[in-house]
Amino acid sequence: MSLSNRKRIGWWLYVLLLGGLVAFLAYSFVDILALGIFGYYATRPVCRRLSTIFDSERIPAVLTVLVVLLPVLLLTSYMVFELLQQLQRLSLSSGGGVFSMLATEIANTRSIPADERARMLSMLNNPLSTVQLRGSLVSTVDMAIGILQLVADTVLVLALSLTLSYALLERDNAVAAGLVVLFGGRNTTAYTYAVAIDEDLESVFFGNLLFVLFMSIVATLAYSVTNAIAPEGLRIPLVLVLGLLTGITSLVPIVVGKLVYLPVVAYLGVQSMNIEGNQLPFVGAVLLGYVLVLDLLPQSVLQPYISGRQFDTILLLFAYILGPMVFGWYGFFLLPILTILVFEVVRIVLPGLLHGDPLGQRPLLAAETGSKPQPKVEKREADDSDDDSDSTATSGGSEPNSGSDGDGTVDERGSPT
């Protein structure tokens, strides 16, 4: 083995070691990466539109984060806070009866002696009484520290995700240029694969952001109108929170807002049974209106155009539903990314690997689904070849200029030589 080969093997081992460390770090902070990548692709078209106004890379990125990403995160945080507040009020108003019922039915506490069962249910009904009875300052301090740590971790994740989105928005041109060199130019399979992923992620996430904003506004208006025309005794609480929640659940194809507006209608139905008069026809009319405004019309008219219009909706359906189940909350963003990575490698790379054919630059499977990356260098090479031929003919068949080999090839930087 020659010395140069040994050096290359040594470098490859070193690169693999660093790659393993980077993979470990990415796994450790996968929630930040997933949310940051989502923020980048969901707002990149806005940033690029602003780039046509400002002759700067930093100003459009800052405005995009402040005007789009930050308000979305604040509204989402407000929604989560209000939901937690309502759950706490519900638990206190019911005296913890929900927890007692779950403990009795699910955990089968009837087999426990009566005095021990009463003590356990008392602790479930009023957990704070346990702390008060113990009088343990240490327990109270530990609880406060745990809450502060949870809040700090959440704020840190959101802040770092925003920072990552901002960095990608500001430096995406430099990153793209570096990847072109790393992939060996624009006439490679790796470049085609990267372009396909890039276009799919933007189509899915930017379309999703638009759809969420639209559905949140429509749902909030629908719930507000319902409260305005509803008979006395029928009222939808937390209109803004439920509107935002409807918009978020609308990300899931086919499901759309059913996860929210159906429980809302059921809540109105329960209220109608506790007031005088027959209000069920009104509840039925509300259900019909919600099905039309929050389900059928958005799903058939708007969603196909803006929410992942280039990608298969069934794949997105499974990705959005299974993602949180497998990975947690960040799976809502991570599994769609992984789905696109797998889908594009199957379309572009896998057929050539299985058949033993040279890897190409065009999708060989499901050409009608996903992005349609077009090879750019071949056309450029042809143009350069035509220019060289014209130049040679004009100069009477003289030798090519210095730095050219006369065949119209393209150097590593993508410029004609």
Do 40 and 172 fall within a single domain?
yes
Same domain? 47 vs 128: yes
Per-residue pLDDT, 382: 43
User: Does a structural domain hold residue 229?
Assistant: yes
Q: In the structure encoding, which two tokens stand for residue 199, read together?
A: 């276009």
Let me know whether 161 and 286 are in one domain.
no
What does the pLDDT look like over 13-45, one tens digit per residue?
Answer: 999 999 999 999 999 999 999 999 999 999 999
pLDDT at 385: 46
pLDDT at 285 (0 to 100): 93
- d(Cα 395, Cα 401) in Å, to the nearest integer? 11
d(CA 222, CA 268): 14
Evaluate whether residue 332 is within a structural domain.
yes
Shared-domain flag, residues 166 and 302? no
Co-location of 241 and 369 in the same domain: yes
- Rg over alpha carbons for the chain, rounded to the nearest Å, is 29
Q: Does residue 94 contact residue 102 with C-beta atoms inside 8 Å?
A: no
pLDDT, position 102: 42
Is 412 among the domain residues? no
Tell me, yes or no, whether 227 and 373 share the same domain. Answer: yes
Task: Clarify whether residues 228 and 368 are in a common domain.
Answer: yes
Amino acid identity for residue 68 in this structure: V
Q: What values do phi and psi take at 358, rounded to 5?
A: -60, 140
Pair (104, 226) in one structural domain: no
Residue found under tokens 């692709």 = 41
pLDDT for 365-417, tens place per residue?
Answer: 666 666 666 655 444 444 444 444 444 444 444 443 434 344 434 444 344 43
Domain assignment present for 16: no
Residue 386 CB partners (closer than 8 Å, separation 6+): 408
Structure tokens at 343: 């889908």
Tell me what pLDDT residue 88 has: 67
What is the model's pLDDT at position 160?
94
Looking at 163, 183, 203, the residue that finishes a domain is 183
How far is 388 from 404, CA to CA, in rounded Å?
Answer: 9
Name the stretches of the chain with pLDDT < 70. 1, 87-140, 304-310, 357, 360-417
* Contact criterion met (CB below 8 Å) for 316 and 253: yes
Terminal Cα distance for the chain, rounded: 35
Residues 164 and 234 in one domain: no
Q: Are residues 157 and 265 in the same domain?
A: no
Domain range spanning residue 328? 192-378
| Among 389, 390, 379, residue whose Cα is nearest residue 414 | 379
Give kind and range of the element (H or E) at residue 22. helix 3-28
DSSP letter assigned to residue 54: S
CA distance 306 to 45: 13
Task: Please count the structural domains in the chain.
Answer: 2
- In angstroms, the CA 331 to CA 400 distance is 56
pTM: 0.72
Is 115:127 a contact under the CB 8 Å cutoff? no
Q: Are 250 and 215 in contact (CB under 8 A)?
A: yes
Distance from chain centroid for Cα 5: 43
| 9: β partners | none
Q: Is residue 339 in a domain?
A: yes
**Is residue 259 located within the same domain as residue 142?**
no
Residue 387 lies in a domain: no
**Distance between CA atoms of 256 and 259, rounded to whole angstroms?**
8
CA 4/CA 313 separation, integer angstroms: 50
Residue 401 belongs to a domain: no
User: Which residues contact residue 380 at a Cβ distance below 8 angstroms, ignoring those fewer than 6 apart?
Assistant: 410, 414, 416
Are residues 171 and 229 located together in one domain of the fold?
A: no
On whether residue 399 sits in a domain, the answer given is no
